[in-house]
Copies of this chain bind each other. A is one copy, B any other.
Amino acid sequence: MAKTTATCDVIGIGNAIVDVLVRVDDGFLGGHGLAKGAMTLIDATRALALYGDIGGALEVSGGSAANTMVGVAALGGRAAYVGKVRDDALGALFTQDIRVAGVAFATAPARSGPPTARSFVLVTPDAQRTMCTFLGAAVDLAPGDIDEPTVAAAKITYLEGYLWDAASARDAFAKAIAAAHRHGRKVAFTLSDAFCVAKHRGAFQKLVRDGVDILFANESEITSLYETASFDEALQRARGHCEIAALTRGEKGSIVLKGDEVHVIDATNLGPLVDTTGAGDLYAGGFLFGLTQGYDLGACGRLGSLAAGEVITHLGARPRTSLKALAAERFPRLLEP
């Protein structure tokens, strides 16, 4: 089908989640049998038990792809989001927050079934985050929630690997890929989490090879995907499998690959590290914003690094300062009209 003029830069599809941010010590993780740095799925009973054990918490809208879309919008891009909340208080909070951030969000909330998803983000003193996620209403995202004209209107459709945990969301995922490609659009995908990759390795390998144009992964995710001993070996595999790969390495920066093009991007240090939650999400946000503006891949990587650098200086996975102003200050020539 012929490509029409895009009215949106990036549409993100993911699990719509409210983050419950809690500062804990390592003993708390051990006491609850939680693997540090990972995302563990929990059921409603365990979610209630965790709620009981934590003290003060900060509830903020999250969800990996949602954070990324907020990043795109914060840089001045046109972003939309698809994800399922319930018609409850947390669902209303999520909806209000993402719209205030400038992201178009029109997915109908569920009127029955489990409550809005929440993720306990347990931040240890080393700034690592360990997540326990109760997926709630998010698992009810279904193909009916994917509107083909909306997908067709976006330059890039961005999908998170976490969606793969629920069957109907997987179907929605596949529908979105087909719709995007039918309209000549690009599909971006984040591997989300090394444990998520381990669970769905075969399916993710196939996706990266056959369905994805732009891949985002961090070091533990990409080495898990290809089961390699070193980052370099995983990188060699990724190069052959998708058009663009942006591989993040925390403080070591990131590597951006496209065909025979390669960029080595440094991490951006904007202050002391407080909480790594959202670093990968915001990196993708900055990168995708750059890509939809037609910037070269090095600039895309630097924008990703900048957005990630901002979000790790405070608690929570969404930017607190103007990314647009930050980018204009750092890259004055880039953002000129």
Q: Which residues of chain A have a CB within 8 Å of any CB of chain B? A: 230-233, 235-236, 252-253, 255, 257, 259-260, 262-266, 298, 301-302
Contact = CB atoms under 8 A, between A and B. Distances in A.
Given A235-B264, A255-B264, 11 more contacts: A231-B264, A232-B263, A232-B264, A232-B301, A235-B262, A235-B263, A236-B263, A252-B253, A257-B262, A259-B260, A262-B262
Contact of A266 (B230, B257, B263): B230
Contacts of A253: 252
23 contacts: A230-B266, A230-B302, A231-B264, A231-B266, A232-B264, A232-B265, A232-B266, A232-B298, A232-B301, A233-B298, A235-B262, A235-B263, A235-B264, A236-B263, A236-B298, A252-B252, A252-B253, A255-B264, A257-B262, A259-B260, A260-B260, A262-B262, A264-B264
Query: 8 tightest CB-CB pairs across the interface, nearest first?
Result: A260-B260, A262-B262, A232-B263, A232-B264, A232-B298, A255-B264, A235-B264, A252-B252
A232 B301 CA distance: 10
A45 to B, nearest CB: 42
**Most chain B beta carbons < 10 A, residue from A262, A298, A301:** A262
A265 to B, nearest CB: 6
A53 to B, nearest CB: 37
A302 B233 CA distance: 12
**Most chain B beta carbons < 10 A, residue from A232, A233, A263, A265:** A232
Contacts of A252: 252-253
Contacts of A236: 263, 298
Nearest to A260: B260
Contacts of A260: 259-260
Contacts of A230: 266, 302
A123 to B, nearest CB: 26
Contacts of A264: 231-232, 235, 255, 264
